[in-house]
Structure 1
Amino acid sequence: MAGAANIPSLLSGRISANEIRKRRIHRRSFSQWRWHLDEVFVRINGETHYLWRAVDHEGEVLEVFATKRRDRKAALKFLKRTMKRYGRPRSIVTDRLRSCRSTMTVIGNAADQECGRWLNDRAENLHQPFRRRERAMARFRGMKTLQKFAGAMA
């Protein structure tokens, strides 16, 4: 009975945490409003797929997107989807992937892109818990499962 009484308080806590997160993400008065974009290789039934992830400067996962390719078209689709939801960032940190550079040129954001040796560690470190959970699940069997799992992990 004591556990049943805690359920409404847990739900209200989760709802209020989501509201705080929404307000914090959409408020752009930060001096370093910065996104970190990264991709990670994922095997699904023996085929390589890519999981794209956008993280803000506080470590909050903004968007997760699974694709079959790692080209400019996939990066452009991911970036447009993220910008439509969260607006335009002041700067974007990426690794030295050429498709990211060409995507920034297409969008007109090339001057705001930053590439550096340790700049993208915020996004890279988020792959570690994902890999641990992936190993525990004994891999993925479908793209839809990967997308659901990655969204829940965020």
Structure 2
Amino acid sequence: MMEERGLSLAHTTIMRWVHQYGPELDKRVRRHLKSTNDSWRVDETYVKVKGQWMYLYRAVDSKGNTIDFHLSKTRDHRAAKRFFKKALQSFHVSKPRVITVDKNPAYPIAIEELKTEKKMPVGIQIRQVKYLNNIVEQDHRFIKKRVRSMLGLKSFRTAKSILSGIEAMHIIKKGQLILRDKSVQNEVKFIHQLFGMAA
């Protein structure tokens, strides 16, 4: 595609851009997102990093809007707690009324600890019903498809950067931005404005 336009770029240059601008795009996009609702669907999926399985914690609301994500080397209540803390600090996130999770015992422990620390609403309902989490499991597919096409992630640090960019673009594609006219041209224009580029 670049050669068609008379530009010659090494694939390593493009990958450096992804590492640098993926997290930056994620950070800048978050201030322009519609609010999520208070019904969270939380699940983790596996991602291979340098030949080892890591855990990508993800949450969406009941309408499928992305709440947040967190890559972790472990799958325990401490990792779940870090994920919930991160999600609760997002600009566009409504405090949860109900959180639907699978049968992973780490989630109730993490939620109870956060309630004790007064970082999560006390009256929150936890539902451990697997079929209600279909919406987040379906949402995993887009992310995993992108990661699979890259033939693996080479380090934990670069995996976090790449996943930040993939998640940010997924959020944009799902229509979570506050845009008057939802079109590909407006999405491109919005990204240009975020980075101070001429459209």
Secondary structure of 2:63's aligned partner? coil
Q: Is the 8 A contact 1:104 1:110 kept in 2?
A: no
Secondary structure of 2:96's aligned partner? coil
Which residue does 1:102 correspond to in 2?
109
| Of 63, 71, 85, the match for 1:58 | 63
- Give the TM-score of the pair, scaled to structure 2: 0.59
Show structure 1 runs of 5+ residues with no match.
1-17
Which residue does 1:128 correspond to in 2?
141
Which residue does 1:8 correspond to in 2?
none
| Of 93, 99, 104, the match for 1:92 | 99
Distance 2:54 2:39 in 1: 26
| Of 21, 35, 43, the match for 1:25 | 35
Return the offset for 1:114: 1.0
CA RMSD of superposed structures (Å)? 2.2
Q: Is the 8 A contact 2:97 2:124 kept in 1?
A: no
Letter in 1 for 2:62: H
Letter in 2 for 1:122: I
1:43 aligns with 2:43: no
Return the offset for 1:111: 5.0
Show structure 2 runs of 5+ residues with no match.
1-28, 116-121, 168-199
Q: Is the 8 A contact 1:72 1:100 kept in 2?
A: yes
Distance 1:97 1:51 in 2: 14
Identity of aligned residues (%): 24
Distance 1:126 1:94 in 2: 15
Greater strand content: 1
- Give the TM-score of the pair, scaled to structure 1: 0.75
Letter in 2 for 1:25: S
Return the offset for 1:73: 0.7
| Of 139, 150, 153, the match for 2:163 | 150
Return the offset for 1:138: 0.5
- 1:114/1:137 Cα in 2 relative to 1: closer, same or farther (>3 Å)? same
Return the offset for 1:131: 2.0
Which residue does 2:128 correspond to in 1?
115
